[in-house]
Amino acid sequence: MREVIIAANWKMHTTPPDAADLATVIADRTNVVGVERVICPPFVCLAAVRDALRATPAGTGVGVGAQNVHHELSGAYTGEIAASMLVGLASWVIVGHSERRRDFGESDELIGQKLGRTIEAGLRPILCVGEQLVEREAGRAELVVAGQLRGSLAGFGDDPAALERAGLVVAYEPVWAIGTGRTARGADAATMAAAIRESISLLGHGFAGLAAGLPVLYGGSVTASSAGEFLAEPAIDGALVGGASLKVDEMAGIVARAGLTAAGRQSATEVAR
């Protein structure tokens, strides 16, 4: 049974005191059985969020994630953060977010290097993929995402099991549905989730097992009111939440709906036994 995961990406919002308070309240309001929760605050807030979560009983089940990582182990890279620096502060890392691709020109090759550094440091990666509007309208959405996966995972051709051991998660971000007023449908996301697993299974020997158990999240302007449509799809295993993750009521609603998905899967598994 694949995990159900709700990851909050706070982007460039909150100061350390704000982040600590928000993380505490969210942890208390989202303590739902069967749902893996992850909060990804700005780098400067990682320690504050980690300590705040440790201080509340509900926070012990919430993971802390970084929003990015550098592709080198160390060096003269002013303002950057190496994976080794995150150890003890975070246990998850987002790599390849659409904003990193768009605003900083990150290539699939570079994202693959970041993925490698993340795994080497013992951190769990959330790899983001997704197409632009022009690509979807041209009927190339699945081809684009397959290419992103090929490029990002190329370095693991000799050891796909490393990705499985690391607990790779893929987040599908339809870039055209983020902050644009346009919306994706649950069926669109489910179709892409299936295509993601198929694309990975075709990468070579050993990738089929990874694909079968791979959690795929949806990340396109998810809110409490829209989450149900996506979480009702058997192919979707959770959400990467942006702006709504800064609002306690929104996060509580999203995680509560994810809890229904987790409970339904658990029941189905017990019946199958």
Note whether 111 and 144 are within 8 A (CB). no
Instruction: Taking residues 164-188, report their average pLDDT.
Output: 91
At 177, the pLDDT band (50, 70, 90 cuts) reads confident
Q: How many domains does the chain have?
A: 1
pLDDT digits (tens, 9 = 90+) for 72-110: 999 999 999 999 999 999 999 999 999 999 999 999 999
Going by C-beta distance under 8 Å and a sequence separation of 6 or more, which residues neighbour residue 211?
A: 197, 198, 200, 201
Q: Is the pLDDT of residue 62 over 90?
A: yes
Among 36, 70, 71, 97, the one annotated catalytic: 97
Per the structure block, which two tokens stand in for 7? 């990851």
Among 36, 173, 233, 250, the one annotated catalytic: 173
Residue 13 catalytic?
no
Per the structure block, which two tokens stand in for 117? 């550094």
pLDDT for 52: 98
Instruction: Taking residues 131-136, report their average pLDDT.
Output: 93
CA distance 29 to 37: 12
Alpha carbon 64 to its chain centroid, in Å, reads 12
Q: Is the pLDDT of residue 165 over 90?
A: yes
Instruction: Taking residues 187-204, report their average pLDDT.
Output: 97
pTM over 0.85: yes
Q: Say how many Å lie between the first and final Cα of the chain, rounded.
A: 12
- Domain span including residue 46: 4-272
DSSP-based helix, strand, coil % in the chain, nearest 5: 55, 15, 35
Per the structure block, which two tokens stand in for 182? 């346009």
Residue 97 catalytic?
yes
Per the structure block, which two tokens stand in for 261? 């998905």
Alpha carbon 219 to its chain centroid, in Å, reads 8
pLDDT for 179: 76
pLDDT for 197: 98
CATH of the domain at 100: 3.20.20.70
